[in-house]
Amino acid sequence: MHALVERLYPLCRSITGDGVRATLDIVDEYVPLERHEVATGTRVLDWTVPQEWNIRDAYVADSAGNRVIDFAASSLHVLGYSVPVSATMPLAELRAHLHTLPDRPSWVPYRTSYYRPQWGFCLAQETLDALPDGEYEVHIDSTLADGHLSYAEHVVPGQVPDEVIVSSHVCHPSLANDNLAGIAVATFLARALARETPYYTYRFIYAPGTVGAITWLARNQDRIDRVKHGLVLACAGDRGELTYKESRRGDAEIDRVLRYVLGASGRPHRVTGFTPYGYDERQYCSPGFDLGVGSLSRTPYAGYPEYHTSADNPDFVCPKAMADTLDVCREAVAVLDRNRRYVNLSPYGEPQLGRRGLYDSLGGRSDAQEAQLAMLWVLSLSDGEHSLLDVAERSALPFDTVAVAADALHGAGLIKA
């Protein structure tokens, strides 16, 4: 996964443009993508697809012609969606277009101006401080023109058409944790799922933040009721502990599954309530859709100093942390995919398990006892109201033990889904 992060890192992504396309090209090498291009001006919910932005070169050069700020060195150096400019001006005038982080003098900030025409450069405070007064040549070779917004999907078909969406944003330029780690974890989760036939159909969405998710929602409005659960993956690779942010509903099944998996795993972690800011859970959980979509990250949105700066680079992202995030995703899928509500078909008194061989079919002593308890719990709570996750939580038995017990009872015809 870290190699994928490193490959994607130099590209200049934005909410539209060739940087996004190049990103999707690379992801497509890992999992085949269905690509979508939506024309500028298309109405998407309350929004309109903006003009497409592309940039070839940008720099500030001193009077000697030395590039003192150079887009080629890092895509962060240009204010996102900068309009083209070609001019010479004194430093005093240029300053109004320069963005720094005075508190972190060696870091370059990430800034954009999507919906108001501006141009600008981002640089380290140290670099700015070292610039002598004088005339500077300013050059941004960008285009802002009608074009398209690009996004892509990858679908792992399941046993049922009901869907789980896994969404990551692809609009941030050279920032590693925010959003490349999420893209990488999503992609490797898709590859893992593709090796089996999951219960649910899993749809992976790679789209620019906000307007991309809104575009996806606009174009899938008539089939949105297929989406039963979802996860937004972001900030998935820093060294902080895992954070699950609940869906707006707070008690959606995905919320219960993630709380259970994180709790049962013994990992240090946080669970936070929904807030209407962060990543694209904002859109999926807007009150009209109100989907059961939570967000999994390590240190959450804006919660670390490197956030939206040049310090969020591939070194900031830890391979072990990404692997851990992926593990939790797979554990969550393992619970979500098997979490069913059963009905006990022999609900009057306990059915005689011994007669059906359900006491004997099991190996080791304490294992056998736990399996037997799990069967009694599944029988007791299978009234159509309780899911296997309810059973696991009420009984304090591992979900896996409960699911195996349910399989045995289902095999014996004692319960039905």
E-assigned strand segments in 208-344: 227-233, 242-245, 269-272, 293-297, 341-344
Q: Which structure tokens are listed for 356? A: 């059906």
Q: Is 349 near its own copies (CB under 8 A)?
A: yes
User: What binding mask, one character per residue, do residues 249-288 give for its own copies by CB under 8 A, x or -?
Assistant: ------------------------xxxxx----xx-xxxx
The tokens for 248 are 């707006």
Minimum CB separation of residue 380 from its own copies in Å reads: 4
Q: Which amino acid is at 191?
A: R
312 vs 260: CA distance, rounded Å: 30
Residue 400 neighbours by CB distance under 10 Å: 14
Please report whether residue 102 would count as binding its own copies according to CB under 8 A: no
CB closer to its own copies, 188 vs 274: 274
Rounded Cα distance, 283 and 46, in Å? 12
Task: Give the residue, chosen from 56, 239, 320, 394, that forms a contact with its own copies under the rule CB under 8 A.
Answer: 394
Interacting residues of 110 by C-beta distance below 8 A, sequence separation 6+ = 76, 80, 122, 172, 173, 175, 308, 309, 310
Q: Looking at beta carbons only, is 195 or 355 nearer to its own copies?
A: 355
Stretch that binds its own copies, among 19-27, 147-155, 235-243, 347-355 (CB under 8 A): 347-355
Distance, CA of 325 to CA of 314 (rounded, Å): 16
**Distance in Å, CB of 342 to its own copies, minimum:** 11
Identify the H or E element spanning 27: helix 18-30
Tokens of 142: 């960008």
Give the per-residue contact string, 117-156, with its own copies (x = CB under 8 A; - = no). ----------------------------------------
Which of 42, 210, 220, 265 is close enough to bind its own copies by CB under 8 A? 210
Least distance between its own copies and beta carbon 44 (Å): 8
Residue 352 binding its own copies, by CB under 8 A: yes
Residues forming contacts to its own copies in the complex (CB under 8 A) are 45-47, 115-116, 210, 213-214, 217-218, 221, 248, 273-277, 282-283, 285-290, 344, 346-352, 354-355, 373, 376-377, 379-383, 394-395
